[in-house]
């Protein structure tokens, strides 16, 4: 949700600082990148070394991020909403999916991820979510593993494939 | 050229490639209709699938999705004032008004005919211009390529959506991220921290799928709303003779404008449709009708955005420079296939170049044939809930990115860039300049360093060669004009603030 003009006209100090976080992170990233680039050989104009190009890129990043720090427009930012919590949960579910996929394979991990997303984010009824998740996981297993031959981690296959 | 065309037709008419054109345009239309996942996100999500295809079929499929989505985006713009992809935003201005007045059918019909005309005229232009451009580009050396890559990145920064400063910031991040991995000249490892998966650099597919695909999925998840119901009734999609007569000029002008803008770096569907709308309003006898249901306001922009989607292949296939983000993804797909696009592509891989060109003609015919009779079917797709769509899209993305290198590390990369893409959207940072700089970064760095080696360390090499000097003059002009424009805008805003507000 974009901020309303009332929000923007006189934002409290804390919120004004919050708008600077983006450029600040970029500025820090640029400084760290420049320092790291300097640890590589910079070479000379006649024979540029591996560190010269990253140094130029990070120098540009530092310069522009520093400018943005003073020119940032609060109206550019969307507010955190209740939906933001959904995003947090979604990211955590993917974080859980990755090791599960690595150790149990596509079928169980894919089924669990789909069932969770369909039940809690799409708000499907439990039975429909489970049926859709099972069909989805089986179809993806067929497409990626059987048709495209992708060597996904094997895991238990329950005698299906 | 005739031989090439015949080769292309034989490639495009093979049963497999016909199937890929059909799948591409249908998929493009479907995602164009569904608000949420745009063509960029979908192409990013489908990049791993193209691994299993040969290079020609892969590009035929992706190109079909690109121009198919331009057709599909119109349907929801006209019926719901809900653009399925960014280039169709302009169509909502008059298209929705026409639908409210009971003319949804003719508006959709004219849009389809305009898109078809724009697409075909643009392919004709591509056939004539591309070989010529490739011949000129054969003489290009590293200084010219360095200047061209710089121009490509800068134009996306200045002409793209959003703030120029933020775009520049993203381009700098993209250039830096592109330097992760092995140094292209000395072979030194840069910023890999001993992680073997980073030795070849960050995987382009994982970065693009994360920023566009997962970022879009997370954003939709945050803002998921119930699907809207289509209220306007669609009857008689065939436009009347009067509609056709009124739109003919707009279609012609839109096609030409779209073709020219598509070729330019930084151009693309959004800019061409906006420019066409502005032109139509200017040449109209009664500009007051625009925004209230002028058929020219649909015909021009729709022709322009489709024409630009075909002509944007010219710089990619002849110079190896992607002019916009979607083409950057297609460039990535070509690199994955081991094909480096450039001036030699037409002679070295004629079946790819001419096959893609011929497939565009077939694809546009298919779209015209499918679009009008199937409008009702496509509208029904809107009933698919965003929650279900994003759940499946997420799993396909995760498994898809794994399939590229069979490396779980890439799933972490896609997730990290997905979160970054979502945060960027919330803070209004465009991912486009980042991805384009990430794609063009290695070329720019390599050509810059080769140029410096060639000249013995003198930067004069960039200005002493006529072509690179000419391109750098354009670069300088772009920078000067945009800075002058920003200063003028700031001054006028300050003047407005100083003007006393009348007391009530």
Please report the ipTM that was assigned to this predicted complex: 0.86
Please tell me which residue, A147 or B366, carries the higher pLDDT value: B366
User: Measuring CA to CA, how many Å separate B390 from each of A92, B222, B430?
Assistant: 16, 11, 21
**pLDDT at residue A12 in the model:** 56
Give the torsion sign (CA, B191, B194, B196, B197). Answer: negative
- Cβ-defined contact of A41 to B218 (cutoff 8 Å): no
Which positions ≥6 away from B187 have C-beta within 8 Å? none
Report d(CA B169, CA B177) in Å as an integer. 12
pLDDT in tens, A72-123: 677 777 778 878 888 999 999 999 999 999 988 889 999 999 999 999 888 8
Residue B229: which region, alpha, beta or left (left: phi > 0; alpha: psi -120 to 50)?
Answer: beta
What are the tokens at A102? 């690595």
Residues of chain A in contact with residue B419, where contact means CB-CB under 8 angstroms, are: 91
**How many Å lie between the alpha carbon of B403 and the closest alpha carbon of chain A?**
6
> Residue A2 pLDDT more than 80?
no
Burial of B504 (0-12, 13-18, 19+ CB in 10 A): exposed
| CA-based nearest residue to B256, from B271, B284, B276 | B276
Residue A132 main-chain phi, psi, to 5 deg: -65, -40
pLDDT in tens, B53-108: 888 898 899 888 888 887 777 887 787 776 666 677 788 888 888 888 888 888 88
B226 confidence band (pLDDT: 50, 70, 90): very low
User: Measuring CA to CA, how many Å separate B503 from each of A86, B169, B490, B496, B500?
Assistant: 47, 42, 25, 16, 9
Can you spell out the DSSP letters for B344-409? THHHH-HHHHHHHHHHHHHHHHHHHHHHTTTHHHHHHGGGS-HHHHHHHHHHHHHHHHHHHHT-HH
**pLDDT at residue B292 in the model:** 85
A145 confidence band (pLDDT: 50, 70, 90): confident
> Residue A156 pLDDT more than 80?
no
> Residue A151 pLDDT more than 50?
yes
Query: What's the mean pLDDT in A7-16?
Result: 52
Which positions ≥6 away from A34 have C-beta within 8 Å? A55, A58, A59, A62
Rounded to the nearest 10 degrees, how much is the dihedral formed by the CA atoms of B73, B78, B82, B83? Answer: 30
**pLDDT at residue B423 in the model:** 92
Between B188, B403, B429, which is nearest A144 by CB?
Answer: B403
pLDDT in tens, B367-414: 888 877 777 777 776 667 778 888 888 898 888 888 877 888 989 999
Please tell me which residue, B204 or B146, carries the higher pLDDT value: B146
**pLDDT at residue B322 in the model:** 86
Domain positions in chain B = 2-226+238-493
Domain positions in chain A = 5-76, 82-147
> Residue B34 pLDDT more than 80?
no
Residues of chain B in contact with residue A132, where contact means CB-CB under 8 angstroms, are: 388
**How many Å lie between the alpha carbon of B468 and the closest alpha carbon of chain A?**
19
- High-pLDDT (> 70) share of chain B, %: 91
Please tell me which residue, B172 or B148, carries the higher pLDDT value: B172
**pLDDT at residue B130 in the model:** 87
pLDDT in tens, B178-193: 999 988 888 888 988 8
Query: What's the mean pLDDT in B442-454?
Result: 89
Q: Collapse the DSSP code of B37 into the 3-class scheme (helix H, G, I; strand E, B; otherwise coil) and give the result.
A: coil
B143 confidence band (pLDDT: 50, 70, 90): very high
Report d(CA B144, CA B466) in Å as an integer. 9
Report d(CA B414, CA B111) in Å as an integer. 36
Residues of chain B in contact with residue A15, where contact means CB-CB under 8 angstroms, are: none
> Residue B431 pLDDT more than 60?
yes
Give the distance from CA A63 to its chain's centroid: 25
Report d(CA B493, CA A153) in Å as an integer. 59
> Residue B224 pLDDT more than 80?
no
pLDDT in tens, B291-329: 888 899 999 999 998 898 888 888 888 888 888 778 888
pLDDT in tens, B478-488: 888 877 877 88
- Cβ-defined contact of B391 to A122 (cutoff 8 Å): yes
**pLDDT at residue A129 in the model:** 93
> Residue A9 pLDDT more than 50?
no
Report d(CA A135, CA A129) in Å as an integer. 10
B234 confidence band (pLDDT: 50, 70, 90): low
> Residue A32 pLDDT more than 60?
yes
User: Measuring CA to CA, how many Å separate B1 from each of B72, B126, B127, B346, B356?
Assistant: 32, 12, 8, 10, 14
Residues of chain B in contact with residue A23, where contact means CB-CB under 8 angstroms, are: 169
Name the closest residue on chain B to residue A65, using Cα atoms. B169
Does A77 touch chain B if contact means CB atoms closer than 8 Å?
yes
């Amino acid at each position: 949700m974009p901020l309303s003009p009332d929000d923007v006209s006189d934002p409290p100090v804390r919120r004004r600082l919050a708008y600077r976080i983006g450029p600040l992170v970029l500025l820090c990233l640029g400084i760290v990148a420049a320092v790291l680039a300097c640890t590589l050989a910079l070479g000379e104009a006649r024979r540029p070394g591996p560190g010269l190009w990253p140094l130029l890129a990070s120098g540009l990043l530092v310069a522009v991020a520093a400018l943005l720090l003073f020119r940032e427009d609060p109206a550019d930012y969307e507010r955190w909403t209740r939906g933001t919590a959904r995003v947090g949960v979604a990211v955590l579910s993917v974080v859980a999916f990755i090791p599960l996929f690595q150790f149990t394979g596509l079928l169980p991990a894919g089924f669990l991820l789909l069932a969770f997303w369909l039940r809690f984010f799409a708000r499907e009824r439990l039975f429909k979510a489970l049926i859709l998740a099972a069909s989805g996981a089986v179809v993806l297993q067929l497409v990626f593993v059987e048709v495209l031959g992708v060597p996904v981690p094997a895991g238990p296959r329950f005698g299906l494939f | 050229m005739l031989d090439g065309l015949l080769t292309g037709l034989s490639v495009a008419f093979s049963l497999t490639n016909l199937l890929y054109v059909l799948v591409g345009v249908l998929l493009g239309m479907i995602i164009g209709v569904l608000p949420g996942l745009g063509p960029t996100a979908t192409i990013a999500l489908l990049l791993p699938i193209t691994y299993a295809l040969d290079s020609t079929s892969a590009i035929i499929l992706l190109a079909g999705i690109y121009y198919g989505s331009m057709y599909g985006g119109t349907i929801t713009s006209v019926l719901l004032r809900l653009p399925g992809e960014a280039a169709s935003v302009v169509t909502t201005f008059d298209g929705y008004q026409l639908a409210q007045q009971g003319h949804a059918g003719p508006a959709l019909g004219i849009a389809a005919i305009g898109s078809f005309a724009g697409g075909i005229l643009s392919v004709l232009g591509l056939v004539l211009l591309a070989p010529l451009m490739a011949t000129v580009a054969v003489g290009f050396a590293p200084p010219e390529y360095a200047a061209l890559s710089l121009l490509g990145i800068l134009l996306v920064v200045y002409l793209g959506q959003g703030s120029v400063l933020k775009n520049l910031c993203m381009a700098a991040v993209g250039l830096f991220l592109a330097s992760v991995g092995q140094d292209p000249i000395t072979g030194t490892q840069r910023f890999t921290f001993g992680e073997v998966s980073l030795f070849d650099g960050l995987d382009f597919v994982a970065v693009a799928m994360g920023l566009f695909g997962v970022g879009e999925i997370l954003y939709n998840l945050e803002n998921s709303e119930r699907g809207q119901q289509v209220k306007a009734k669609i009857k008689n999609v065939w436009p009347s003779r009067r509609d056709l007569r009124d739109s003919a000029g707009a279609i012609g002008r839109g096609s030409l404008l779209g073709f020219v803008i598509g070729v330019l770096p930084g151009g693309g569907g959004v800019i061409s449709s906006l420019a066409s709308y502005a032109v139509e309003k200017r040449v109209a006898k009664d500009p007051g009708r625009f925004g209230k249901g002028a058929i020219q306001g649909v015909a021009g922009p729709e022709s322009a955005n489709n024409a630009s989607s075909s002509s944007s292949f010219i710089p990619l296939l002849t110079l190896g420079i992607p002019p916009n983000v979607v083409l950057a993804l297609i460039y990535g797909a070509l690199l994955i296939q081991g094909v480096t696009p450039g001036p030699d592509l037409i002679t070295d891989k004629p079946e790819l170049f001419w096959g893609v060109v011929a497939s565009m003609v077939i694809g546009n015919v298919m779209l015209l044939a499918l679009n009008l009779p199937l409008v009702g079917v496509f509208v029904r797709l809107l009933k698919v809930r965003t929650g279900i769509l994003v759940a499946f899209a997420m799993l396909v993305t995760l498994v898809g990115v794994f399939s590229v290198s069979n490396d779980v590390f890439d799933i972490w990369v896609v997730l990290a860039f997905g979160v970054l893409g979502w945060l960027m959207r919330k803070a209004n940072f465009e991912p486009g300049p980042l991805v384009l700089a990430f794609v063009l970064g290695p070329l720019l760095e390599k050509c810059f360093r080769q140029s410096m080696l060639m000249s013995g360390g003198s930067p004069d090499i960039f200005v002493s060669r006529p072509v690179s000097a000419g391109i750098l003059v354009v670069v300088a002009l772009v920078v000067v004009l945009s800075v002058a424009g920003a200063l003028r805008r700031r001054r006028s805003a300050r003047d407005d603030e100083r003007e006393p507000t009348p007391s009530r």
